[in-house]
A = this chain, B = another copy of it.
Amino acid sequence: MNRRPPHSPISTPCVQCPIRRMSGFRDFKPKELAFIRSWKVAERRVPARGFVLQEQETIDELYTVLDGWAMKHKTLPDGRRQIINFAMPGDLLGLQASVDKAASHNIEALTDLTLCVLPRKGLWELFRGFAGLSYDITWLAAREEHILGEYLVALGQRTAQERIAFVLLDLFLRARRAALVTGNRMSMPVTQNHLADTAGLSLVHTNKSLQKLRAQGAFAWENSTFELLDLELLANLAHKTVEPAPPRPFL
C-alpha cells in the first residue's frame, strides 16, 4: 500500500536554492550550507491531490517545500475533515512524524509539489554537530505551535466571517513571505471546501459568509486568484493585528 514513484534526481542544487534567495529567510554559514547540501539526497515530486504522507504512516524522511502548496489535515472515522495547516515554500514537513513514530495527520498536495528530501538519520548528525541548525528546527517547531495556537483562537472564539477573514489574511501574509505575491495578487489553490474545513464551518455557510465579506471590499477572490485590496480592513474584519515577521530559518 505504500508504492511511491522513485525520487527524482536533484535538479535544484542547494547553492542556488530558490528559497535561500528569497528575502525573509536567514543566511547559512558555509559549514551549515555544506552540511545541508550533503544531507539533501533527492527531490520528490507529488502531483496535486497526491499524498506526501498519510496518517499512521511512518517515514524516514523530512521534507522542505521547494515549490507548491500542501495542506495537513485529519479525518475523523465518520468522514469529517479538519485542515490543520497549510504549507508553502520554505516550510518543513514531516518533523512531527519523524520525531514521533507515526504521522498524526495527512499531508496532501494542493498543487504539484516539489520537495527537498532529507533523510531522517541526518537529523541526528544535525543535532550532534550543528547547534545553530538544531536551534532552527526548534524555531520552526515553535512557529508551527504558534500558528496552530492562533487558529485555535480563531475556531474557538471568532464568528464565521471573522474566521474566514482570518484564514484568508493568514494565507496571504504567509504567501507573501514566501514570495508568492506580486502586486498584492497571488494564485491561491484553495477551494471554498478547503476553506470550510479549515474554519470548521459548513460549505454552505462558508459560501454565504464569504459573500458578505467580499461585499466589504477588503479583497477579491475569483478563478483561484486572490487579491488583497485593503490590508487594514481585512485585518479588522479578522480581529487580527498584523506585525512584521522576523527573518526565519529553513532547511
Contact = CB atoms under 8 A, between A and B. Distances in A.
Contact of A131 (B74, B77, B124): B124
Interface string A82-107: 10100000000001100111001100
A246 B138 contact: no
Contacts of A197: 156
A68 interface: no
A215 interface: no
Nearest to A133: B127
Contacts of A118: none
Nearest to A139: B99
A16 interface: no
A140 to B, nearest CB: 9
Contacts of A139: 99
A76 B157 contact: yes
Contact of A199 (B99, B100, B149, B156): B156
A96 B143 CA distance: 8
A74 B147 CA distance: 13
A10 interface: no
A104 B239 contact: no
Given A99-B139, A138-B95, A146-B100, A153 B239 contact: no
A96 B128 contact: no
A157 B200 contact: yes
A69 to B, nearest CB: 19
A152 interface: yes
Contacts of A138: 95, 99, 127, 134, 137-138, 141
Contacts of A127: 131-132, 134-135, 138
A105 B145 CA distance: 11
Interface string A104-138: 11000000000000000001100110011011011
A145 B82 CA distance: 15
Contacts of A76: 153, 157-158, 239
Given A124-B131, A131-B124, A246-B101, A96 B142 contact: yes
8 contacts: A74-B150, A80-B158, A99-B138, A127-B134, A127-B135, A134-B138, A152-B152, A152-B155
